[in-house]
Amino acid sequence: MFDIGFFELLLIGVVALLVIGPERLPTVARQAGAWLGRARRFVRSVKDDIDREIQAEEYKRLLEEQNIAKPVHEIIEETREDLRDIGEQTREAIEGADADKSGNRLEEDGSKP
């Protein structure tokens, strides 16, 4: 978090000892530690809240994309069904035309004798 080395911490400790005094230094150090712990917990909770909000936004975006894609999938499925129907109708028409040709040949063969 802070780029404080050992020398800087030692200097802060000596200055605190001179300013506060040896009697009150342990109490002040405990209070400073407690404040630092509270600050870290607060920062962590804010960070967690931000992460949760970002995740929620990502989930919302994914759901919107899926809802947009859903009608496209429905259209594709309807088109497939229509193409199957057209294919079946075409197949039936071809089979009917083949049957008519076979029937016409039989009639032509029967009328020539």
- Helix ranges, the chain (H): 6-20, 25-111
* Core vs surface per residue 52-78: b (16+ CB within 10 A) or e: eeeeeeeeeeeeeeeeeeeeeeeeeee
Integer CA distances (angstroms), 110 to 88, 90, 97, in order: 33, 30, 20
Report the distance separating Cα 86 and Cα 100, nearest Å: 21
Q: What is the pLDDT of residue 111?
A: 52
CB 20 within 8 A of CB 31: no
Q: What is the pLDDT of residue 62?
A: 87
Report the distance separating Cα 33 and Cα 36, nearest Å: 5
CB 20 within 8 A of CB 28: yes
**Number of other CB atoms surrounding residue 106 within 10 Å:** 10
Q: What is the pLDDT of residue 97?
A: 81
Report the distance separating Cα 74 and Cα 60, nearest Å: 21
Average pLDDT per 10 consecutive residues for the chain, totaling 113 residues:
80 90 91 93 96 92 81 85 94 84 62 49
- pTM of the entire structure? 0.47
